[in-house]
Chains A and B, each alone.
Chain A
């Protein structure tokens, strides 16, 4: 009986000891884990709580708004080292552009620019944002019941150890695809956010270049050389047998183009090769019409000296003289002598 009792007792003690040992090990392990995650991502933790709060507010659908709210709260979570610490802190162009892109997305979610962005794209943006701002995903996988949280976690986690620069670039590319309007001001934004005199005030805007899409103009190399002022290439064309008065699809000669762009040297070379100074384009205008309209005095005078006709009428019935608004006495003198 005493033997049995002793045996039972030693078994019980053994079990208790084994349990305590196991518990101790698990506590140690858990402590180690927690410690690691504490040093690594305390922002993530609090941000995760925010994320859950946001989800309960917005439901499971994952509106753009919720992503924005997270991005907003993330900013709020960062330590408040210095309230004013926003001007003059150096950062890369990419940082600037990325920062502007996130702000743009935030603003876009709220205003008229807002368009329905697919969940898939939202998740992509989310993942890239997290990589760019926090790095690889180290947060624990949310439970399978939390579908949105899990989808977001997966979007982040699957990007692995993508470098933040790459994530920023991809984020910007994606925003650019989603909101082409963003790209128009894109290059501007970079400068403005960083080194402008201040964050407030007016903006200097200039015309966006729009390629004329409905312009069916066909021109030859010789016209392009005349337009760009490339005398040597132009002369080579002529040597190779291209007619000096070759017409583009609007009936313009190389001389028209040279005059239009103000290349006196090209005009001289063309006249030297016997270009027709009175050649008309499809609207009946000569090079002198062009020179007068564009107020290119030296070229107009050169043409007049080369016997360009100051009274020749275009389709609208206007001669170079009619169109001339400048006080060019030599235009009139020519007419009088005619």
Chain B
């Protein structure tokens, strides 16, 4: 954005110079006003204009306790839902992405690999693996119609993508069927083509067609209106690499040698009975999780099918461990993390940053600290460079002690067409979106 400021900025400056040069005509500010109003409409409100037309909590309603908690707009009869897709600019067309097809999956993978989220210094870009995308987009009861692509009509190239997957999310005492919206990505060359709003509308329409009226999503920016704002934390596992690639910095008064010692971890997990989750553990893990998640204001509502899909270990996608009591053979504790590598852009020595992201963790017998330390140990063994966690659920209780450092990223959580009377603390959120 740095180089975009000249045309409107200079007009503005000129207007100001006129005023400065003619203090007597200070009142006659119509030019200035027009210029300013023009600017206002383009900048101040532009981000939220779209969201003001949407059934989401609005900034102006913050603190208004007279508004009821729950759906903002009632469900409408399915026959009233728009039956045809929204119009795209004429050179583009909708496509439904069949993630079972290797070719289609590769297309989506490549679009994201080259165009999805980067850090602000453009040093890293998320590189969700194909297997990860298949896992993330095909949970129990998924709708293929919610995997929405946009192609250029002439080249047939996939230039944009957005997806939803169904989920049951409990808000206070109410379990609500929702869509989790994710992987909105527009090709770099087509940013500013205004594709994103129409894609959001289209996925909303297709969600409505399945008689689902609420959604959950996250964003790094503040939109109207977050249900909570979370902070990312990072635990270095391979500090030398993280420093070399610019993920973290080495202070002038700190030595690499001491930093490496600081983050050193034991070679094997400490807790007796700590092992990989297996299919036979699904009922026990489901019980543990349901019980744990019931305490949060907004949380995912997992049944056994969900646990089987989301938490059974998958190579290079999701890892789950549990503690089976050596005496009683009860499953008492559980931890999990998913694998999300990032491409390291423009570094001669490294191409991939391997990051583990904390997923769902429950401790009942083992201390939470020791459980998560074991999670760090196994993730280090698996070759991860860094272990990331949000300050959701009870995570805050282990972050500092296990040498996590604060990240520069905040993640805002949102609900679509569902109003909460008041925002949550991150620790009141029991939901992790990928």
Contact = CB atoms under 8 A, between A and B. Distances in A.
Interface of A: 39-41, 43, 65, 68-69, 71-73, 75-76, 78-96, 98-100, 102-104, 106-107, 109-113, 132-136, 138, 161, 163-165, 184-185, 187-212, 215, 217, 219, 224, 227, 252, 256-257, 260-262, 285, 289-290, 293-295
Given A202-B411, A208-B407, A93 B60 contact: no
B197 interface: yes
Interface residues of B, number: 111
28 contacts: A65-B62, A75-B44, A84-B194, A87-B192, A89-B42, A91-B8, A92-B8, A93-B1, A103-B48, A107-B222, A110-B62, A164-B12, A164-B36, A185-B410, A188-B120, A192-B220, A193-B221, A197-B116, A200-B184, A201-B183, A201-B184, A203-B232, A206-B248, A207-B407, A209-B248, A227-B252, A290-B255, A290-B257
Given A87-B194, A95-B43, A110 B1 contact: no
Contacts, number: 319
A258 B211 CA distance: 65
Nearest to B66: A57
Interface string B351-371: 000000000000000000000
B191 A88 contact: yes
B284 interface: no
Contact of B407 (A83, A112, A205): A205
A43 B34 CA distance: 12
Contact of B120 (A81, A192, A219): A192
B59 A72 contact: yes
Interface of B: 1-2, 4-5, 7-9, 12-13, 16, 19-20, 26-27, 29-30, 32-33, 36-37, 39-50, 52-53, 58-63, 115-120, 123-126, 162, 181-186, 188, 191-200, 217-223, 225-226, 228-229, 232, 234, 236, 240, 242, 246-249, 251-257, 260-261, 342, 388, 405-411, 422-423, 425, 433-434
Contact of B249 (A201, A207, A257): A207
Given A193-B221, A207-B247, A184 B408 contact: yes
A190 B1 contact: yes
B60 A84 contact: no
Contacts of B8: 90-92
Given A85-B49, A104-B222, A293-B261, A207 B242 contact: yes
A107 B60 CA distance: 10
A200 B117 contact: no
A81 B42 CA distance: 10
Contacts of A94: 5
